[in-house]
Structure 1
Amino acid sequence: MGKPKVSVITATYNDKENLRRIMKQVSLQDYDNIEYIIVDGGSTDGTAEIIQEAEALFGERLKWVSEPDKGIYDAINKGIRMADGEILGCCFDRYAGPDVISKMVAIMEKEGTDGVHGDLYYMEGDKVVRYWHQGQGNIRYGWMPGHPTLYLRKSVYDRYGLYKTDYRISADYEFMIRILKNKRVKLSYLPEVLIYMSHGGTSTNSLGAYLEGMKEGHRALKENGVHFAWFTDLCRTLRVLAQFVQKR
């Protein structure tokens, strides 16, 4: 059997220069069975020309669509539906090296797991402002994988469904609670920094957004039947604070 195909999804909207950087990151990965999917929300800033550059980089390994959507989670869902890969992940930031996907696939295949995750740095320019290092753990005690590092077999989405688009900020958290709460989805942990993530994403770009994210996170716990959700909220907050202390 050959190597499993990995589908890497990037959702974008009127952010052509960042898309160009992300495309380059994906193209530099040394794993030789990558399908790249770009889901554009109908940009008007010249993104179409950037996608033409992606066609030159990826050839037949590229799939893309440009049309209005209902936000980033709706766009990711479109990408998942378009994917032919056995393993799926998203790329919105910078890989820590050219062998990140190779390492992810290798440990999943070795351990026979449903997915993989690892550590990440939150960056402001070249400065590390937060270090996401949680290892393995239990959702109940505030643990969760760093979503930008989470790559899953497509069978997980087939079994548990896609991202809920009625969450504005925390659909990724709700999804991870849904798949991990009963410990039926097994994840490998790669104990190294895999992603350099730009600080200031949807859930961290303001105090208001952070508070809305916490509110949605509490709702996600309740909807998924996690008892004493307030306790998990507290544990999760303490873990986040610890990440700022841990930064290197």
Structure 2
Amino acid sequence: MQKMTLLTASWNSAATIGDTLRSVAKQTYPEIEHIVIDGASKDDTLAVIEREGGHVAKVVSEKDKGIYDAYNKGIGYASHDIIGFINSDDFYAHDAVIADVMAAFDADPELEAVHADLVYVRQEDTGKIVRHWKSRECKEKSLSRGFIPAHPTVFLRRSVYDKVGLFNLDYRLAADYEFLLRVFHVYKIKARYLPSIWVRMRVGGATGGSLSSIKLQNDEIRRAQLLHGVHYPVSKFYIWKVIDRTLQRLRSRFVDLPSADWFR
């Protein structure tokens, strides 16, 4: 049986990381190594991990250079062949997510990546879905428009990191986009999209607070595209951004998932 490493980056996440930990503990797949990389939290994050994280294999708490630095550290600690991320604001949509991931890898030994769908939920009411990020196969036309799979739903073999490298810390808000562009556009790894919702993500985060931070993230995305030879007119890029966000909101009206406290 193949084994999975799940990495959780946290910083001052006492209010939300309990949901993350419980959703991992409830997964039906038995071979999961869960590692938490904490950025020296000043709140009760570590106390919550102590209380709710009986399954956690390793906790590292020290100052870092941000979430992408934590990701890179976590990859270094990972012991197993399949690696995924579930951050301290996120939690799995049901208890068979990892089982579904591993079934896909078991079915095709040459498969290098699996990804799926994600929903955004309200911070204060995680049962309220506000956007539905419906993914698709990673084709060049979609990649050129700024599409990339939702990072929390992307699971990769360790060999992909050996080939592609780690997260580039020069990108403060879009290092996940730049990394996944390398994965799917530059290296064109073998991937499979599964049309299923795997993750609930709370709205907010580094780009959720202001228009200036959203603009900075999109500027970094454009910089990553140019770096990797993706040329798409800036006007069309932003038009597709607006269209995609609108469709996400419309789709959210038709999502039917178990209640947000299914794992409590």
TM-score (norm 2): 0.86
State the one-letter code of the partner of 1:94.
F
Q: Deviation at 1:63?
A: 1.3
Task: Give the AA of the match of 1:90.
Answer: F
Q: In structure 2, give the amino acid aligned to 1:75.
A: A
C-alpha contact 1:5 1:85 (8 A) present in aligned 2:
yes
Query: 1:234 Cα shift?
Result: 4.4
Tell me the secondary structure at the aligned position of residue 38 of structure 1: strand
Which residue of structure 2 lines up, in the alignment, with residue 223 of structure 1? 227
Distance change >3 Å, CA 54–CA 86, structure 1 → 2: farther
| SS class of match (2:15) | helix
**Is 1:83 equivalent to 2:78 in the alignment?**
yes
Q: Distance in 1 between matches of 2:146 and 2:243?
A: 8
- Name the counterpart of 1:213: 217
Which one is further off, 155-164 or 128-137?
A: 128-137
Q: 1:70-104 CA deviation, whole Å, 9 max, x = no partner?
A: 00110111111100111111112121110001001
Which of 47, 50, 61 matches 2:48?
A: 50
Distance 1:84 1:170, change over 3 A: same
Give the alignment's Cα RMSD to 1 decimal. Answer: 1.8
SS at match of 1:169: coil
Kindly indicate whether residue 121 of structure 2 is the aligned counterpart of residue 116 of structure 1. no
Please report how far the alpha carbon of residue 229 of structure 1 lies from its aligned counterpart in structure 2 after TM superposition.
Answer: 5.8
Deviation at 1:161, TM superposition (A): 0.7
The 5 Å alignment of 1:99-248 reads 99-111=96-108, 112-124=110-122, 125=125, 126-138=127-139, 139-182=143-186, 184-228=188-232, 230=234, 231-232=236-237, 234-248=239-253
Helix, strand or coil at the partner of 1:17: coil
Q: 1:38 aligns with which of 36, 42, 61?
A: 36
User: Tell me, what secondary structure is at the counterpart of 1:219?
Assistant: helix
Asked whether the 8 Å contact 2:116–2:198 carries over to 1, the reply is yes
1:65 lines up with 2:60 in the alignment: yes
Q: TM-score, normalization: structure 1?
A: 0.91
Shift of 1:227: 2.4
Question: Structure 1 pair 54/129, CA: closer, same or farther in 2 (3 Å)?
Answer: closer
Q: Which runs of 5+ in 1 are unaligned?
A: none
Change (3 A) 1:176 1:236: farther
Using the TM superposition, give the Cα deviation of residue 123 of structure 1 relative to its aligned residue in structure 2, in angstroms. Answer: 0.8
Match of residue 261 from structure 2: none
Q: Residue 10 of structure 1 aligns to which amino acid in structure 2?
A: T
SS in 2 for 1:94: strand
CA contact (8 A) 2:20 2:92 kept: no
Q: Report the Cα distance in structure 2 between the residues aligned to 1:183 and 1:160, rounded to whole angstroms.
A: 7
Contact in 1 for aligned 2:135/2:195 (Cα 8 Å): no
Distance change >3 Å, CA 163–CA 183, structure 1 → 2? closer
Query: Unmatched 5+ residue regions in structure 2?
Result: 254-264
Question: Which structure is higher in helix share?
Answer: 1
The aligned residue for residue 26 of structure 1 is 24
Identity over aligned pairs, percent: 36
1:188 shift after superposition = 1.2
Q: Is the 8 A contact 1:94 1:197 kept in 2?
A: yes
Contact 1:39/1:64 (<8 A) preserved = yes
Change (3 A) 1:246 1:51: closer
Conserved 8 A contact 1:13-1:42: yes
SS at match of 2:194: strand
Aligned-partner SS, 1:89: strand
SS at match of 2:249: helix
Contact persistence 2:186–2:228 (CA under 8 A) = no
Structure 2 CA distance for aligned equivalents of residues 243 and 155 of structure 1: 32
Question: Residues of 1 paired with 2:155 and 2:105: CA distance?
Answer: 10
The 8 Å contact of residues 170 and 203 in structure 1, kept in 2 or not, is answered as: no
